[in-house]
């Protein structure tokens, strides 16, 4: 296994990128990597000559400062998992480097980003689309890999890549789940033991209910606070809070 190169400087990363031959795949993350991220890295490593993982907890996509503060940070374990899954390089820039404009410039989508998570997290998708555009520009990747757990994010990024004629292809990858059905997420580590027992009810309700209203009631009855439970494009989407941790999921219906 070759050594993992770790870049915190965008300038140094770009010099490295300029010398790369062959195809480059990128997996964009906010760290706290888990098996779901590993599956994206493994797929990229199988389909590209070089795989780059970015690790950046992006403040502009957090509408709640407490949520940003509590976001798990597991740097050493992240590097080990990225390497083991087949990445050659990690890019982890500082705020000062990635936002030289202090976020004066941003990217906004005005329709789908106002629904679902966007309706409850003001500015969230502006932050996501802006950072993804920056990271696509810096990495100049041929391919990128995103999980379907964040289905709305994936759809918005796909549309953005098409709209702006970006060279980076956006690939959708299936959600990885615990055996209980709970969708893998960096936020799961913040659940208490009691919360972990409750959380699989989310997937159960999504998949085993005749309507969204029934699914909503099942979760409320289980003591889970539902932010939204809606159906769009033949999918059922949910955001819910357990132990104050916001979890999202979606399934095809």
Interface of this chain with ligand PAF, residues 68 to 127, rule: CB under 6 A:
none
* 130: contact with ligand PAF by CB under 6 A: no
Number of residues that bind ligand PAF (CB under 6 A): 10
Closest to ligand PAF by CB, 136 or 203: 136
Please identify, among the stretches 7-15, 23-31, 77-85, 160-168, the one whose residues bind ligand PAF according to the rule CB under 6 A.
23-31
* 3-state secondary structure string across 33-101: CCHHHHHHHHHHHHHCCEEEEEECCCHHHCCCHHHHHHCCCCHHHHHHHHHHHCCCEEECCCHHHHCCC
As measured in angstroms, the least distance from the Cβ of 41 to ligand PAF is: 13
> Under the criterion CB under 6 A, does residue 206 sit at the interface with ligand PAF?
no
- Least distance CB 157 / ligand PAF (angstroms): 7
- Among 47, 20, 173, 30, smallest CA distance to 91 is for 30
Looking from the CA of 111 toward its CB, the CA atoms found within 13 Å total 4
Helices 200-207 & 212-221 angle (0-180, nearest 10) = 150
Among candidates 248, 246, 251, 249, which has minimal Cα distance to 68? 246
Residue 30 is a binding residue for ligand PAF (CB under 6 A): yes
**CA gap 237, 153 in Å, rounded:** 12
Examine residue 229 and tell whether it contacts ligand PAF (CB under 6 A): no
Closest distance to ligand PAF from the beta carbon of 208 (Å): 27
The torsion of the CA quartet 110, 113, 116, 122, rounded to 10 degrees, works out to -90
Provide the minimum distance between the beta carbon of 55 and ligand PAF in the complex, in angstroms, as a whole number: 9
Which residues ranging from 137 to 156 are in contact with ligand PAF (CB under 6 A)? 150, 153
Is 232 catalytic? The answer is: no
136 token code pair: 């696509």
132 lies in the binding site for ligand PAF (CB under 6 A): yes
* Residues labelled catalytic: 37
By CB under 6 A, name the binding residues for ligand PAF. 28-30, 58, 61, 128, 131-132, 150, 153
């Amino acid at each position: 296994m070759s050594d993992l190169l770790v870049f915190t400087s965008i300038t140094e990363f770009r010099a490295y990128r300029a010398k790369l031959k062959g195809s480059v795949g990128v997996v964009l993350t906010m760290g706290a990597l888990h098996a779901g991220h590993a599956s994206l890295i493994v797929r990229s490593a199988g389909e590209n000559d070089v795989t780059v993982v970015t690790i950046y907890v992006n403040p502009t996509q957090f509408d709640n400062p407490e949520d940003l503060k509590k976001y798990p940070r597991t740097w050493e374990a992240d590097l080990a998992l990225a390497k083991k899954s087949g990445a050659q390089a990690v890019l982890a820039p500082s705020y000062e480097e990635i936002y030289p404009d202090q976020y004066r410039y941003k990217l906004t989508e005005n329709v789908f980003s106002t629904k679902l998570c966007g309706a409850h997290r003001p500015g969230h998708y502006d932050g996501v689309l802006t950072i993804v555009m920056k990271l696509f520009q810096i990495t100049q990747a041929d391919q990128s890999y995103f999980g379907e757990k964040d289905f709305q994010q994936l759809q918005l990024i796909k549309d953005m890549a098409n709209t702006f004629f970006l060279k980076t292809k956006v690939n959708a990858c299936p959600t990885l789940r615990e055996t209980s059905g709970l969708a893998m997420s960096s936020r799961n580590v913040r659940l208490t033991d009691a919360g972990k027992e409750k959380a699989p009810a989310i997937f159960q309700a999504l998949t085993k209910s005749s309507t969204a209203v029934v699914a909503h009631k099942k979760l409320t009855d289980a003591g889970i606070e539902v932010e939204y439970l809606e159906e769009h494009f033949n999918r059922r989407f949910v955001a819910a809070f357990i132990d104050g941790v916001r979890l999202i999921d979606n399934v095809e219906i």
